[in-house]
């Protein structure tokens, strides 16, 4: 049996780390798929529970050189501690690295040192002061040395390895030079690299702090969703009022929601009336009226009335919890476009080390001294850290899925995000997707009687009917009813009843014909309506034809606009329905859809999707019913309307939580925008390393320019990661 779990991981810092975890976990027998997310520091693992268990997976994470965190609370606590420690380490690094930089490099900026610490007058003092200043900085950056060394022993060198190697190389070389200065008091003071060893650490710490702040903002949407639920709730349980943690609410508990407060859990209103702001779940801005029997959702905000609610779903199973899980799962998944970055990151660190060594050796052969070659070696190691590669995809996906969730659009992963952006054909189911799924009276055509009176006779006769057409007529009428006796349902025809003392027949043309109503009369009034895809109900009163009422499942208010918007993107729109051709073509014409597949059996819907794909089309299927599930699964990306069946919602890759069909257009635009961001991020990550490594290796120097200093290489490396994350965060400003 397949199972899915999410493992929280501590200690990852770059793409090489996440690739190492994936490689280690994937070697476990029974693991079918593993995806590591550097943004959320987690691994989503699908495994066969008969072959392995969670302990085996966690052991593989440890073998890769990282720690496993047991639960989200511990992860949050550890993150808070690490954030506090990182701030302290950065402050220490800044306090000591700034004077270190001024003492060692001040002469380049026109700053003259006091004679007491001049390298020319007191070289030993000059060297020892730098040694004293750099040691606290190295201690502040100790995690790079610890993690980097551990990664080597686990055969998974990473960013920390490169930083540790670069900084320690500069420090060790400087120690050797300091020993020579002490030994013979000579001019080796100009061959010290303490400032490089210290500034590398300081710049990386600054970059990591900025990166952490930016990464935290990518998960803001999830944090805001979590904050909607109150920590505790007062409930009635077994006729006793008690305050419980919201996470411990049970099905059957009853709680009261006062104006302005949040609904604690999904439930059914058992008393009271109110209106509720459901925008955080559906994205719809207008409050929704609620009365006894209606459903309310945890996290929504009660606007005016006080209502009592009976719990129907526990904390982890509420709609809001499912939305949060969907966003987190999406962030933990990868779009196919990220595959290239993954493959490169797996071999990146050893390759960079090889380039660093080769560059130093080549310069040595050209006659450059050891100091020059060491400078090149350190710069290449530091500038090439693959942080930006690891952050390029997950940050964009996390921001996009969070942005979507705030607008009632749920993406179930990075793959649907990418697939939706490439869709060139959208196939709509009709009923409940393009239409409201609720028959409504569209036309009232009285003959020899007023419109109001015709409707009153019909509604009076139909008020006890369970037929959908009868319900539509009753819903349309608003007033007092006539007395009704002798009601009789006529199978396949309609009904007969005595209404207000008069004999009334309500039904189809055949029923009218059987009761001596001229077929030409019903044909003249009914055929034009039928041609529009409407169902026509005919009425006779005491043997006289009284008129007709047309009923139809009408198009959603924004459906035609959605089709027009999709066409503006170059997307072809198609209708796929089991309804009759006349009705389907009528609805399609109003919506602006030119291609219609009508009278399609449920089992054949999937075949239509497959045939379109064989024509080379990237198909997005939009549906809401059980019979849509196979088609949703077969499409390149399946989109379900949340008001539809659970089967359809489970089968889909994207879920639209509100009733607006324009949400589909918004989802496609968001996915296209996200894919562009991912491409931009990957471009900058690759371009940065493509340009940065040759410069660090001394290309500009060979062409007559300057040699890159290791500390500036560290600053540039940190800037690349922050740039990628900041670029992803721009999606938060994108207006849907």
Q: For residue 111, what is the DSSP state?
A: P
As given in the structure block, the two tokens for residue 163 are 């930083």
At 728, which helix (H) or strand (E)? Answer: helix 710-729
Q: Mutual orientation of helices 194-218 and 710-729 as an angle, nearest 10°?
A: 10
CA distances from 71 to 44, 77, 231 (A): 14, 10, 18
Residues in the chain, overall count: 736
Taking the C-alpha atoms of residue 2 and residue 48, their distance in angstroms, rounded to an integer, is: 5
Q: Do residues 252 and 270 make contact, with C-beta atoms less than 8 angstroms apart?
A: no
- Residue 616 backbone dihedrals phi, psi, to 5 degrees: 90, 15
Q: How far apart are the first and last CA of the chain?
A: 40
10 Å CB burial of residue 260 (0-12, 13-18, 19+) is: exposed
- Residue 227 backbone dihedrals phi, psi, to 5 degrees: -70, -10
For the chain, counts of helices (H) and of strands (E): 26, 26
As given in the structure block, the two tokens for residue 140 are 């502040």
Return the active site residues: 429
As given in the structure block, the two tokens for residue 370 are 């050891």
DSSP H helices in 600-659 = 602-614, 629-634, 646-651
Q: For residue 247, what is the DSSP state?
A: G
At 267, which helix (H) or strand (E)? Answer: strand 267-271
Half-sphere exposure of 214 (CA within 13 A, CB side): 27
Residue 490 CA to its chain's centroid (Å) = 53
DSSP 447-514: SSS-HHHHHHHHHHHHTT--SHHHHHHHHH--SPPPPEEEEEEETTTEEEEEETTEEEEEE-HHHHHH
Residue of 592, 593, 596 whose CA lies nearest to 577: 596
As given in the structure block, the two tokens for residue 604 are 């054949």
Q: Do residues 192 and 177 make contact, with C-beta atoms less than 8 angstroms apart?
A: yes
Residue 35's contacts (CB-CB under 8 Å, 6 or more residues apart) are 22, 43, 44, 332, 333, 334
Taking the C-alpha atoms of residue 574 and residue 426, their distance in angstroms, rounded to an integer, is: 6
As given in the structure block, the two tokens for residue 273 are 């009336």
Q: Do residues 297 and 262 make contact, with C-beta atoms less than 8 angstroms apart?
A: no
Half-sphere exposure of 64 (CA within 13 A, CB side): 29
DSSP 556-594: PTTHHHHHHHHHHTT-EEEEE-SS-HHHHHHHHHHHT--
Taking the C-alpha atoms of residue 538 and residue 523, their distance in angstroms, rounded to an integer, is: 11
Residue 504's contacts (CB-CB under 8 Å, 6 or more residues apart) are 457, 461, 496, 497, 498, 539, 540, 541
Q: Do residues 533 and 586 make contact, with C-beta atoms less than 8 angstroms apart?
A: yes
Residue 57's contacts (CB-CB under 8 Å, 6 or more residues apart) are 5, 7, 25, 28, 31, 43, 45, 47
Our CA dihedral for 411, 414, 416, 422, rounded to 10 degrees, sits at 120
């Amino acid at each position: 049996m397949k199972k899915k779990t999410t493992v929280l991981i501590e200690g990852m810092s770059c793409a090489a780390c996440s690739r190492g975890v994936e490689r280690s976990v994937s070697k476990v027998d029974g693991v079918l798929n593993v995806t590591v997310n550097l943004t959320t520091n987690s691994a989503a693992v699908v495994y066969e529970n008969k072959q392995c268990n969670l302990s085996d997976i966690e052991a593989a994470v440890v073998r890769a050189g990282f720690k496993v965190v047991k639960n989200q609370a511990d992860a949050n606590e550890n993150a808070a501690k690490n954030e506090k420690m990182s701030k302290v380490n950065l402050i220490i690094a800044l306090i000591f690295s700034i004077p270190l930089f001024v003492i060692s490099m001040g002469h380049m900026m026109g700053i003259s040192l006091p004679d007491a610490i001049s390298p020319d007058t007191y070289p030993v003092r000059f060297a020892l002061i730098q040694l004293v200043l750099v040691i606290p900085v190295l201690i502040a950056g100790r995690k790079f040395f610890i993690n980097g060394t551990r990664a080597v022993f686990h055969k998974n060198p990473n960013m920390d390895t490169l930083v540790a190697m670069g900084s320690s190389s500069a420090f060790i070389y400087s120690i050797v030079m300091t020993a020579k200065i002490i030994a013979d008091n000579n001019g080796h003071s100009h061959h010290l690299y303490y400032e490089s060893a210290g500034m590398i650490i300081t710049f990386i710490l600054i970059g990591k702090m900025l990166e952490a702040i930016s990464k935290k903002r990518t998960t803001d949407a999830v944090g805001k969703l979590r904050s909607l639920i109150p920590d505790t709730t007062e409930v009635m349980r077994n006729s006793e009022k008690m305050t419980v943690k919201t996470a411990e609410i049970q099905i059957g508990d009853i709680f009261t929601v006062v104006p302005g407060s949040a609904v604690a859990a999904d439930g059914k209103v058992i008393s009271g009336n109110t209106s509720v702001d459901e925008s955080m779940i559906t994205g719809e801005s207008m409050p929704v009226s609620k009365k006894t029997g209606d459903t309310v959702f945890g996290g929504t905000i009660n606007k005016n009335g006080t209502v009592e609610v009976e719990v129907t779903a526990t904390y982890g199973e509420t709609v809001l919890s499912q939305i949060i899980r969907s966003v987190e799962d999406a962030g933990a998944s990868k779009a196919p476009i990220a595959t290239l970055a993954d493959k490169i990151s797996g071999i990146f660190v050893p390759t960079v080390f090889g380039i660093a060594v080769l560059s130093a050796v080549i310069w040595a052969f050209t006659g450059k001294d050891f100091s020059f070659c060491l400078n090149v070696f350190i710069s290449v190691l530091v500038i090439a850290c693959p942080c930006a590669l690891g952050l390029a995809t997950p940050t964009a996906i996390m921001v996009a899925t969070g942005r979507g969730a705030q607008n009632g659009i749920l993406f179930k992963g990075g793959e649907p995000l990418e697939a939706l952006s490439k869709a060139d054909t959208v196939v709509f189911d009709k009923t409940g997707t393009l239409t409201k799924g609720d028959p409504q009276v569209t036309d009232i055509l009285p003959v020899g009687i007023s419109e109001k009176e015709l409707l009153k006779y019909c509604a009076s006769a139909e008020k006890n009917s369970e037929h959908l057409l009868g319900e539509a007529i009753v819903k349309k009428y608003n007033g007092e009813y006539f007395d009704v006796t002798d009601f009789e349902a006529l199978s396949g025809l309609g009904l007969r009843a005595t209404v207000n003392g008069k004999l009334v027949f309500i039904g189809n043309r055949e029923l009218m014909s059987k009761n001596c109503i001229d077929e030409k009369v019903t044909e003249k009034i009914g055929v034009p309506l039928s041609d529009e895809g409407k169902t026509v109900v005919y009425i006779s009163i005491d043997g006289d034809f009284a008129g007709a009422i047309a009923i139809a499942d009408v198009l959603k208010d924004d459906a035609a606009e959605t089709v027009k918007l999709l066409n503006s993107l170059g997307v072809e729109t198609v209708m796929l329905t089991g309804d009759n051709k006349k009705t389907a073509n009528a609805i399609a014409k109003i919506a602006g859809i030119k291609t219609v597949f009508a009278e399609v059996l449920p089992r054949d819907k999937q075949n239509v999707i497959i045939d379109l794909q064989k024509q080379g089309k990237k198909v997005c299927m939009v549906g809401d019913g059980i019979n849509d599930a196979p088609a949703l699964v077969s499409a390149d990306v399946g989109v379900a309307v949340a008001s539809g069946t659970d089967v359809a919602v489970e089968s889909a890759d994207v879920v639209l939580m509100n009733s607006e069909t324009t949400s589909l257009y918004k989802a496609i635009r968001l996915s296209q925008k996200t894919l562009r961001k991912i491409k931009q991020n990957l471009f900058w990550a690759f371009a940065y390393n493509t340009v940065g490594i040759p410069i660090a290796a001394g290309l500009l120097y060979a062409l007559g320019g300057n040699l890159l200093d290791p500390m500036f290489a560290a600053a540039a490396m940190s800037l690349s990661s922050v740039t990628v994350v900041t670029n992803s965060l721009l999606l938060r400003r994108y207006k849907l």
